[in-house]
Structures are given as C-alpha cells and as structure tokens.
Amino acid sequence: MDKAVIVEGLSKSYLISHEAQHRPTSMREAIAEFAPLAWKRLRKKNGKVESVSPKVEEFWALQDVTFEVDQGSRLGIIGANGAGKSTLLKILSRVTEPSAGRVRISGRVSSLLEVGTGFHPELTGRENIFLNGAILGMRRAEIRQKFQEIVDFAEIERFLDTPVKRYSSGMYVRLAFAVAAHLDPDVLILDEVLAVGDIRFQQKCFGKIREMGEVQGRTVILVTHSMAAARTLCQEAIFIESGRIVAQGRVDKVVEVYEGSLAPVSSFGRIDLRNWKNRNSRAVGALYEWAEISTDDASSADSRIYVGSNVHIRFGVRFDVSRVGQPTKLAVALRTSDGIPLANMVDEDSGFFIMSARTEEACEVVLRDLRLYPGIYFASLWVGSVASETWDCVNDCICFEVLSGGDLVRRRLPREAGLLFLTPEWARA
C-alpha cells in the first residue's frame, strides 16, 4: 500500500533558559543586559568577555520520531500533556520547522490545529466561512461551490448574516468545524478539535471523519486525549512520551500501553487554595483556603478511587468578619474532563447549612458509593449568600480520577457508553 506520510528521525529542540527572568523579552531588559556587557567589552579592549549569559539549555520537544502512515488510514497520536504531540502536528502542518529529520507527505495537506482559526467576531457567518476557508487553504471558487453544504452541515442557515460575536458557543463551533470538514485534502491533520460541541454534533463530526477515511480514501492524523475517540476513529496509533515514540501499531494495543502507563492523577493531600488563580471572588465575603479529597475504601490501600468508592471532599473557608453570623450557602460542583457539568450539590438540598459564628469553617462532603464511569473529573467549590450572590468560587480545584476496578466492575467500561454506572434491580416481570 502507498504511504501517504513518511516521517524520518524528526526532532525539534527549543532553547530554554533556566532563569526565565534573564531572557530579555522587552527592550528595556535587552538594553539593561547589553549595557554592562558592552561596557566590559569597551574596557577590555581585546573584546573577550567571560560569558554572562544565563544557563541556556536545549530542550528536545521531539526526538528521533519515525513513523509511516498508509494512504487512507487514520492515525491517532496519544500521550500526556507536554509529551510533544502538538509540536509534532505543528511540524506536520508546517507552522514550525523541525530541527532535524524529514517528513514527506504526498498529496494536498490541510491542517486544523484549532477550531475557527481567524474567525472575526465582527463579521457575519457568511463572511467568516469565506475568510476561514481561505485561511485553511481553500480557493474562492471552491468555497462558493461548497457553501450550501457547509451551511447545512453547521445548521446555521438562519444566522448566516448575523455577526458571529452574537453566536452561541455551540453555533460558533459548528460553523468552524463545518468549514474544516469540507476541506478537500489528501491528508488531514487534526488537533484535539473534537472535544467541543454537544454530543450530537460530536457524533456527526466523528461520522464525517470516518467517512473521509473509509469512503473518500483520505489519510487522517489526529491528536486526541479521548481514548474512546482514538478507538472509534483510528486504526493505528502512536503513543508519545517526552518527545519519543513509546509504542506504535494497532490502536487497541497502543491505547492499552498508554492507559497502563497512567499513574492515578487524583490530587490527594491538602491543596492550598489561597493563591488559586482560576476563581471568581469578591474582595469582601469569604475565601476558600484549602481543599482535599480522599477515600475511605478499605479495599484500596493506596487510596485510589474506583467506581463505587466513598469519596470525601473536605475544605476550609475563611469568612470576612462582616459575614460572620450571616446565613451562607455552600456548593460543590462536579464536571467531567470534557467540561460536561455533572452535578451541583448545594448544602441546603441535604438539609445542611452554616450560619457561621466563626471566621474559619471546615466542612466535609461525603459522596457515598460514587457511581461515575472511569475517567477524570473536576470539582469546583462555591460559597455565597443565601440569595446566591457569589463570594468565592474556586474552579476545578480538585481533580480526581475514577479508575476502572473495585468491587462493582466486571467488564470494560468505555466512557462513550455512559457516565453513570448504575446497578438497578433486575427482575422478571
């Protein structure tokens, strides 16, 4: 079979300086650093100056990556954040140059590293289709010819002449993907662009990508964090870690290697929230100071969370003196790693409330028998007035992974099959 993509010994290095503040990123710094150097050079007429440059180290984002992709096959690239997946895609799509090695791609290449690159909020949907199409490398005639198809796929007919700044995020993403889906390349490069939109539209995109490969014989290379997506979309995969290929071959095999390499990501132990950046808070009110998550599952000595474990979330809040004695509301929200909201648990729903007599409070929320499918989840903490005025909201401060295992699980639980692991009563009726 013909090879669509041949990658040989691809490497990419960046120079990183250990003392970040020493790399001049502004003219002021550049001058301030250069001036003493120049002065020294002037005084020592021979021009030899002992190096005052900071320690600069070569960082290899990719090292000696070699693989091939058959024409018409779909390759998934998996690996943890920072493993070099995106760097690889950036080289393949020519956004950045490799430091060594060679890539040969036969046919027209289109890459989609981001959904809606170059969309302009002031322009209408119609105008953005043309603009985005041109950015992705389509000819004007080609866009005109496929225009109706794109509009139909995106389901935005009625809003075609509305500026996209008025679009809902769902519409925006649909439009952006629709343009990309109508590219006509021999090789399509995708970066994690499917983790967007609602489930129904995601399914539609999955279908489109599969159609591109199976029906139209196009080659697809995609980066994904979703093992489910990798399994359904790709035949082959490569697993990258620290810039090197760890495993490559059939997708099932590679995904297995990858999943085996994962340490539990749950952040056990106390997390200091005082300097947590991702939060919405008011200056006066209350502030979350710490949080921790744990499990009391006797069967897991290493405190892993399995399907059906009891999960404890503890946190400390500091109330402003002015709030002491006022009725308050507390809430814990859960979401999946794809951003789907799962639960918003408010204290009053459980018949609990604090009318704090102190400035410091610590509370515990126990989620008994948590029946979430294996995967990574995030918890956010909220505190405010009974009228739901926000005092502090710490987003995604607790991250935990539910592992496949424990006493309940007897089969593989693919994430795309569901979110809740329910064991209802079954009986003959």
The residues binding other proteins (CB under 8 A) are 14, 24-28, 30, 90-109, 111, 113-114, 117-118, 120, 122-123, 127, 130-131, 134-137, 139-140, 186
Instruction: Identify the CA nearest to 284 among candidates 325, 327, 318.
Output: 318
Cβ proximity to other proteins, 114 vs 369, nearer residue: 114
Cβ proximity to other proteins, 26 vs 350, nearer residue: 26
Smallest distance, other proteins to C-beta of residue 131, A:
5
Cβ proximity to other proteins, 173 vs 293, nearer residue: 173
Cβ proximity to other proteins, 117 vs 303, nearer residue: 117
Cβ proximity to other proteins, 130 vs 147, nearer residue: 130
Smallest distance, other proteins to C-beta of residue 238, A:
17
Strands 219-223 and 187-191: parallel
Cβ proximity to other proteins, 96 vs 299, nearer residue: 96
DSSP state of 373: P
Smallest distance, other proteins to C-beta of residue 176, A:
12
Smallest distance, other proteins to C-beta of residue 169, A:
17
**For the chain, how many residues are written?**
429
Q: How far is CA 352 from CA 21, 328, 330, 345, 421, in A?
A: 49, 11, 9, 11, 27
Smallest distance, other proteins to C-beta of residue 138, A:
8
Smallest distance, other proteins to C-beta of residue 114, A:
5
Cβ proximity to other proteins, 186 vs 392, nearer residue: 186
SS3 (DSSP) at 342? strand
Question: What are 360's two structure tokens?
Answer: 């410091």
Smallest distance, other proteins to C-beta of residue 166, A:
14
Smallest distance, other proteins to C-beta of residue 27, A:
4
Smallest distance, other proteins to C-beta of residue 150, A:
16
Cβ proximity to other proteins, 117 vs 310, nearer residue: 117
Instruction: Count CB neighbours of 394 within 10 A.
Output: 24
Q: How far is CA 17 from the centre of its chain?
A: 26
Cβ proximity to other proteins, 2 vs 425, nearer residue: 2
Question: What are 253's two structure tokens?
Answer: 């095999």
Question: What are 151's two structure tokens?
Answer: 């509009």
Query: What is the DSSP code string of 204-265?
Result: HHHHHHHHHHHTT--EEEEE-S-HHHHHHH-SEEEEEETTEEEEEEEHHHHHHHHHHHPPP-
CA separation for the pair 273, 313 (Å, rounded): 14
CA separation for the pair 110, 100 (Å, rounded): 23
Smallest distance, other proteins to C-beta of residue 285, A:
36
Cβ proximity to other proteins, 106 vs 310, nearer residue: 106
Question: What are 264's two structure tokens?
Answer: 């539990």
Instruction: Identify the CA nearest to 311 among candidates 389, 398, 221.
Output: 398
Q: Determine contact, residues 252/231, Cβ cutoff 8 Å.
A: yes
Strand partners for 248: 238
Question: What are 356's two structure tokens?
Answer: 């704090």
Instruction: Count CB neighbours of 118 within 10 A.
Output: 13
Rg, the chain, Cα only: 26
CA separation for the pair 84, 62 (Å, rounded): 6
